Amino acid sequence: MERLKSIVLMIKSILITFIARYRKMDGDLIADKVTGELGSWRFIVTQTVILLAWISLNVYLMHDHFKAWDPYPFILLNLMLSFQAAFTGPIVLMSQNRQGKKDREAMMADLECDLRSEKDLKDIRDILIDIKNKL
């Protein structure tokens, strides 16, 4: 009966851990998606191409005496990059906090499993000692 209770507790712990690991809110999903995209080479290359095109086109329009929409020192570009940085920082932190929480939950589940295994091993050891004493 004790063994059955141990198995039920282990299954319950596994299910709770599984649900906790994969239950995400919409904000968490968005933060993970944005963070995954910001940390990719595709994003870095795309942003570099856009920035070079922006700067090149504005310099070309200024040089040919046309009206550039963001002449040197590219104040509009700096404003847009500041907005990007202002929103990117908190989003990355949200994703890291969620990942840290997920890691802590996994660590606690592992600890519970290890403690149950240790208890089971002690029980087996005690049974073996009893068998040895009876022989």
The 3-class secondary structure across the chain, one letter per residue, is CHHHHHHHHHHHHHHHHHHHHHCCCHHHHHHHHHHHHHCCHHHHHHHHHHHHHHHHHHHHHHHCCCCCCCCCCCHHHHHHHHHHHHHHHHHHHHHHHHHHHHHHHHHHHHHHHHHHHHHHHHHHHHHHHHHHHHC
pLDDT at position 42 is 93
Answer yes or no: are the C-beta atoms of 94 and 32 closer than 8 Å: no
Query: Which residues fall within 8 angstroms of residue 63, CB to CB, at 6 or more apart?
Result: none
Question: Which pLDDT tens digit goes with each residue over 30-79?
Answer: 788 888 888 889 999 999 999 999 999 988 888 877 788 888 889 999 99
pLDDT at position 8 is 63
- Exposed / middle / buried, residue 68 (Cβ in 10 Å: 0-12, 13-18, 19+): middle
- Split at pLDDT 50, 70, 90, the class of 3 is low
Average predicted confidence (pLDDT) for the chain: 83
26 or 5: whose pLDDT is higher?
Answer: 26
